[in-house]
Structures are given as C-alpha cells and as structure tokens.
C-alpha cells in the first residue's frame, strides 16, 4: 500500500505558501481536514496513520507524505505528534512525475527537514528562494531515484548511481566493470538497465556524453581543442578528432568555426 504514487506536475515550479512546524494529538486523537487549493508535504516524527480519500497509510518517524489539493485527510495520532510541513501551489500541466504518497527516507530525513525548515525561514523576506528550495526538496523526494525520460517509472538505484558517477568522472578513464561493481550489480545487468533507460549500451552512453560535453565546450568556451579532448576523457587527439568527426561529420576545429559563424 505504501508504494502508491501521485502523478505530480513537478516540472512546474511550486510556490511556497506556508511552512513550519505543527504539533497535533494534544486535544484529539483524530483530526480531519482538506486543503482545497494547495498541495502539502509533511515530515513525520511520530507513529500514526493517515487516510486519504478513504485509503489508509501508515506513517512513522522518518517518513514523508505528499497530499494533492482537495484531498480529504484523516489523521489518527498516538499522543503528542510533531511534524514539519509545507503548503504550496503547483501549476498543473506538463508531463507528470511519479511521487510516492508516503515514503521512508531513512538517514536522509534530518537533512531534508533542515532544508525545508530553512525554506520556511526564508519565505517572509525571500519568497522566491524559499520556493526554489521547496522545489529541490520535492525533487529529492521524487528522485529516490526517478527518471524524467519515463516519468511514471521509478529509476533503478544502481542506474542512478552509475549515471552520476559517469557525469562526475567523465574526464577520467572509466571502467564499466568497475562502475558495475560499485553499483553492486553485474556488468550485464548494468548494460540491460542502460538499454532500457537510454536505448544504448553503457559504452555507447559514455561515448555519447563525452561527445555532447566536447561539443558544448567547443561552442561555449575558448578552450583549445587539446584541452577539450582531455576535459572529456579522450586525451588522444587523433582518437578525439575521429570520435567527433564520426558524431557530427566534421573535425572539432571545423565544428567550432561553423558554430562561430551562426
């Protein structure tokens, strides 16, 4: 039951309306309410249950819950119950992103709560900054881990870690078996994950990202071709030239000159 998700228009920037801490359960063990126009996120520090439009979910310390607008919420508390919360507007439209209704964020909980509480402090004087922080927090919750390419599907944790390693280490020699070991899966399994997500092998993905980064540097920086080659992990200038020519039909220098004329 706790695997349920909302389809959330998270590619649109939210507007933080109210955030802070609340204490419930002192006078009543059951509370019922709705937010007609606002989404909400709650960071729980207590055990209890929440019923959303008739469906019950267990909540516990270290768990986070998301609720869409106009959803009937019924909380059942077990004594004094404290949580951090945020109420926010989220424009509709665009491709939705799958967001868990409730989830255990484990060791990340305190760090995420601190970020949200910072946003609460910024809201009176820096509302845009507070809304951007909320947006980042929501993406952290959705991206544990999530994919924008297939927004209704949660991304395999090993794939997310491998992609992150490749992006951060693109200028260095990359060993696919070593990446797979650090992701704690087999080389073949990693290849299957890349094919399913990106339509290419791990090797082809790395080559593609190196080419894309090289073309960016050739277009938007004045780095020499040799420096660009080293920056994208292809220090052999002959091989770098061959790779770029295969990708776009011209040498790195020709590509830079062509872009400079546009």
Task: Per residue of the chain (262 residues), give pLDDT as tens.
Answer: 346 889 999 999 999 999 999 888 888 899 998 899 999 999 999 999 999 999 999 999 999 999 999 999 999 999 999 999 999 999 998 888 889 999 998 888 999 999 999 999 999 889 999 999 999 999 999 875 444 444 445 567 888 889 889 998 898 999 999 999 998 999 999 999 999 888 999 999 999 999 999 999 999 888 899 999 999 999 999 999 999 999 999 999 999 988 766 4
The pLDDT of residue 160 is 83
Are 110 and 209 within one domain? no
Position 127 in a domain = yes
The pLDDT of residue 148 is 43
Are 127 and 184 within one domain? no
Are 126 and 217 within one domain? no
* CA separation for the pair 195, 197 (Å, rounded): 6
Are 126 and 169 within one domain? no
Are 132 and 229 within one domain? no
Domain that holds residue 241: 156-262
Residues with Cβ within 8 Å of 5's Cβ and at least 6 positions away in sequence, in order, are 98, 99, 100, 101
Q: What is the CA radius of gyration of the chain?
A: 23
Are 166 and 134 within one domain? no
User: 33, 22 in Cβ contact below 8 A?
Assistant: no
The pLDDT of residue 228 is 93
Position 151 in a domain = no
Return the exposure string of 146-176: e unless at least 16 CB atoms fall within 10 Å of the residue's CB, then b. Answer: bbeeebeebbbebbbbbbeebeeebeeebeb
Q: What sign results for the dihedral spanned by CA atoms 92, 98, 104, 105?
A: negative
CATH assignment at residue 128 = 2.60.120.280
The pLDDT of residue 124 is 87
The pLDDT of residue 2 is 42
CATH assignment at residue 227 = 1.10.10.60
Are 241 and 161 within one domain? yes
Q: Tell me the per-residue pLDDT of 119-139, one tens digit each, with 9 for 90 and over.
A: 999 998 899 999 999 999 999
Q: Among 97, 118, 142, identify where a domain stops.
A: 142
The pLDDT of residue 3 is 62
Position 242 in a domain = yes
The pLDDT of residue 157 is 81
DSSP state of 139: H
The pLDDT of residue 145 is 46
* CA separation for the pair 232, 228 (Å, rounded): 6
Position 150 in a domain = no
Position 52 in a domain = yes
Are 125 and 30 within one domain? yes
Using CA atoms, how far residue 244 sits from 24, 113, 204, 231, 239, in Å, is: 61, 45, 14, 14, 9
Are 135 and 108 within one domain? yes
- The count of domains in the chain is 2
DSSP state of 118: H
Are 95 and 132 within one domain? yes
């Amino acid at each position: 039951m706790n695997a349920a998700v909302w389809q959330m228009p998270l590619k649109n920037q939210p507007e933080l309306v109210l955030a802070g801490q609340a204490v419930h359960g002192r006078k009543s063990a059951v509370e019922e309410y709705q937010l007609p126009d606002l989404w909400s996120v709650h960071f729980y520090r207590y055990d209890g249950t929440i019923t959303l439009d008739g469906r019950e979910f267990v909540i516990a310390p270290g768990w986070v819950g998301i609720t869409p607008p106009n959803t009937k919420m019924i909380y059942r508390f077990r004594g004094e119950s404290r949580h951090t919360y945020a109420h926010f507007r989220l424009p509709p439209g665009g491709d939705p992103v799958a967001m868990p209704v409730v989830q255990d964020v484990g060791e990340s909980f305190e760090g995420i709560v601190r970020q949200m509480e910072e946003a609460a402090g910024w809201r009176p004087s820096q509302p845009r900054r507070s809304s951007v922080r909320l947006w980042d927090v929501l993406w952290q919750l959705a991206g544990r881990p999530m994919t924008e390419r297939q927004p209704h599907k949660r991304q395999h944790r090993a794939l997310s870690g491998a992609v992150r390693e490749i992006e951060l280490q693109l200028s260095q020699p990359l060993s696919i078996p070593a990446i797979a070991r650090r992701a704690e899966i087999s080389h073949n399994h990693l290849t299957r994950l890349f094919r399913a997500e990106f339509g290419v092998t791990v090797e082809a993905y790395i080559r593609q990202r190196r080419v894309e980064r090289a073309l960016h540097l050739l277009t938007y920086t004045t780095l020499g071709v040799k420096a660009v080659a080293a920056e994208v992990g292809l220090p052999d200038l002959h091989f770098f030239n061959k790779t770029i020519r295969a990708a776009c039909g011209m040498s790195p220098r020709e590509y830079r000159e062509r872009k400079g004329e546009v």
